[in-house]
Structure 1
Amino acid sequence: MWRQKDVDKNWTSVTVANVSKFMVSGTPTFTPYEVKVQAINNNGIGPDPAVVTGHSGEDLPVQAPDSVQVLVLNSTLAEVHWEPVPPKTVRGHLKGYKVSYWRERSLHKHNPHRVEQQFLSFSGNKSHGMLPGLQPYSLYLFNIRVYNGKGEGPASSNLQFETPEGVPGPPSFLRITNSNLNNLTLEWGPPNDRNGHLTGYILKYQQVNNSNELGPIEELALPANKTSVTLPNLKYSTRYKFYFNAKTGQGAGPVITEEAITIMDEVHPAAPAFGNVSSSVGEDGMLISWEYWGAEKHVYVEYIIKNDNTLGEEDWQKEYVNGSQAYVLKGLKEGLSYRVRVVAKGHDDQAVLHQSEELLVTVPAMPSRQADIATQGWFIGLMCAIALLILVLLIICFIKRNKGGKYPGGLTLISILHRRYCLSWTTMRFTFVSFTILFLQSKRYLDIIVYVRGTFCPSGPP
């Protein structure tokens, strides 16, 4: 049973069986109804049930919010107000209000671009909301619409508002275009987001020494229509750091930085920073030593293979030197020649401020460890022992001959010894010169050899 709440007095009923739901058609959109379900069987009607209130289906809202207003609070924040729509026009459960807004353009003629729409939702039956994150010095458009569970209703008419000036964005670029002995020229571009009328630029700069310590800051105000400036009376061969930003009537914007170095004094060139670069071969590698009088702390030993045309300036190998005036280069290839130099760089390790003269070093090849066996002491000693043994045997044979006379056995023995000796003596004479000299130093031994050869050595084979 059902009836429209506060409208119908009589109930409309329908009897159904074996179902748990029933759809009522032909009802107006989102209208409240009183509903109750009562059980019935063959014995009659059950107890009177409680009444439940429900609604018919939702549809899209039909009315846009009225009395829309905007209040600009500052260059990045605005507050919007509206009159809530009548509940009957919502045609559903009210979920809230949605504000659509977008930046139509910048008020500055140099920034005419448009930005995509943004959306903010305010749940419930609200009548105002905040729009944060706006772009200064810009024209914005917005509208408001109500939404329910079905969707959004029609939007209000577009309204517009302007944000006031703000601080500008950073300059688009800053670069050094000319570096001379005592002056530098800087160029820059205006900010992409001016956020108002530019009133000028602020340039600050200071010296940076070799230990990265900063000197006193100099400040220079520049007009808005200027895009370059030349700074005179700077110190030659000195690094400077620059801080640059733009400003409007609301203040100065973000800072960008840049660094540059004035060139060396061309009239009075600085004395060389390196001297007495030398090399020596050590057990661990090639020792490079030098003298250094510069102030820069970033010192490197650089080396490259000589006459390698495939290598460029960027292929020099670099070894950092931590405050000493000597360094051992390890891993160099034997037999190759290398070009070696010592350089001092700035604090950014990019610009070379001082460089020594190049040194040409050659890595020696390892000497051969294989010596002639004839020069070994053990071999010479062995040969002397053999010669001494042969000499003793010859003397013994000579003594026996004098005592026992000539006999075939002795002659055969001496003949065999003589042949072995003659063969050994001849071989040693040609192969081991030092051993032959040792034999010739003994006059008596030479006489014995001559005697034995004259007496016992047969002219032919034994």
Structure 2
Amino acid sequence: MFKCDALTDPHEKHKLKYTWYLDNEPVIIDNDRVLQENGDLIIKNTNSKDTGNYTCIASNGLDEDKAWATMKVKAPPDPPYNVTVLTCLGREAQIRWEFDASQENFSPLQKFILEYNTSYAPEHWEMGAQPKANERQAKIILSPYANYTFRIKAVNRIGVGQASPHTSVICRTPIARPGHHPENVKTVGEKTNFLIVEWEPMEKIDLNAEGFFYNITVQKEGDDTVESYIIDDHTISRKEIPVDTVYERYIVTVQAKNQVGWPLREATPITGYSGQAAPLVVPQNFELDPEKNISSASAGFRWDPVDTSPKSMQGEFTGYKVRVWKKDQQDTTMKEIFIPHTPSRGKRRRKRRQVEKVRTEVRDLPSFSDLEADVVATNAYFSSNGSNVINFTTPEGVPTAVSYFTAVNVGSTHFTLAWGEPVEKNGIITGYDIGYQPINGIVYGDMKEMETLGADVHQTYLGGLEADTQYRIFIWGRTQQGKGSHYIIDVKTSEKSIPLAKPEILEALSRPNSVNVTWKLPDKEGQRVGADYYVEYKRFGLVGKWNVHKNDDAMNNWIVVDNLESGIAYEVRVVAQTGVPGDQDYAQMASEKRTFTTGGTGNWYPVMARVFLNGSITNNNSTTDGGAFKRSNILSSGWFIGMMVAIAILLLILIIVCIIKRNRGDKYHVQEKERLRGSNQEDPAENFNELGKSDTNGIGQSGSFDNNPEKMPLGDETDSMEEYGDVDPAKFNEDGSFIGEYGGQKGVGDQQASTMATLV
């Protein structure tokens, strides 16, 4: 920054006009990198172009004054210039450039960097040579059949300068044969009955002419037949050749050629193998190693070694794999442990009478699990069939870390902590241990631990903390074997100045003599929550002190308030509290009021008050203004539903009785029976026996008469009367029947008369 303060009185500075010059040229003010504030010139992110002599001219319109300053900016060197191509031959080029000492930017020049690009990758610049600081030309090796341009960079102690413009002249090299054959030729045996050949593909700059192709020749060892395959795409690097052999030796050569010819040096053949297949041998006598005990996370195994010859292995023997999985969960829990083959060294030993077993110990097994295992032999790409399967059980271990651990609510003196079960229990969880310590920068306070919590506990209240303090909290799952892995969180208590979060009542579920109040806290970042919560309640409309119902468990977000009166409207609210009354950090925050009515009959006045308030119907699910309350839905009350069901049952019984009465009265009119027989006589004796017949529905048949019409007596009156003795005609009823007369008869006649009287 340049200043012009010395040119005039500071009190007159605002009346002056300032003009800045660099090497007698006006400084361009862009207000981004170069800006002017009053008489000061400020330059940000200076570079070599800012070096020079600065002049400040101050003018008041009548007179002017000047001041000078020189700035030297140390920076990476400026780009060289006049870069030209001296010679361009088939395999090399000579490049020249110019560079002045003034371009060093006040830092000694160290070297130059010569770069080039080609028409195959014009955006990519390769480093070709690094001439010394006193050199102004350099030689660079080129590749045939390419178009080259060049540029130069200068380097000093500050750094690498910008590159010069690239040469305007393009250096074109002539065509030539390829410089070399493909490199890193090999065979892979991943596919059975295939000879797979791979190599590094050649870059386009290495093709050197048109008409490029690869020539792959293969010959089975011991066979005179040579097969050749042509690939004319230089980007391809793999050839799969079908064969009828498994892991047989082949001689393979990969060559490069273009329209000019082959490279000067011949390609080197390699010996490869056709594809491998699954081994033909299977490990035998797989069992637990009796010399090793099964622990909670490891077990030892042993088995007989297999024949490792290429013919038996159908490939190159690499070792064994012990496979372990949880019982009946092989597809999802299998774990493979590779035991590599280690060739024996030194002199061969005589064959022992008993083959030495292969032994290994597998670690990191799941604890407290029923497991199954087998072993397979492997070559480079395939595994054999599995051996016999063995079953074993690992004893109980310690659990892994819990699945999650978080501070659900944060207060100024407490946390509400919650966690999940361990990812791997590795036994029967007997409880959880929680420890915590304050953190002050990089200093950790003393560790304190809570009492061990029960296995079914997944949240707890941690109190007695300092406000506005960072804490590190640990949790461990525990089995009978001890503590498992820990889970750590860092949480900071809230400041006392932050207001308490306001509880929100979710539901006030009433019963005849109680209510269950449930609440939540708003989910806000950095909120401060209370350490205790309790419920206050009173009768609706009463002015006075609230009744208090304490929360027995600080972890609960619900409270049951009992000993209420049935059918009464109440007001309720939830209060958050922290600290003790009288303490400096004591604070309270109450929720909005909620109105409810207890169930039962109780006093009918509050029930009617719930339905109509000031001439309008109130809603139990919304809070009214001015002390209005929510009414319960009568249709959902138990007593109302029970009453409706009882009324429905009584109506159903009444309908059934009416139907039965009607049916009985319509079926047994004697005159109707006589009319249906075709008789119009008024003589009751003539139609007497008709009473013994049933109606069309078969109802009303008497047990005193035979239902067969042929056996029915249809004679004269005398004959009919004789069956029942003398009868006084005066005792007949008004309609000609004599049913009432039988009320005074005895014996069998009494029973028959009673039956007929019932039917009538």
| Higher normalized contact order (CA 8 Å, seq sep 6+, divided by chain length) | 1
* TM-score (ref. length: structure 1): 0.38
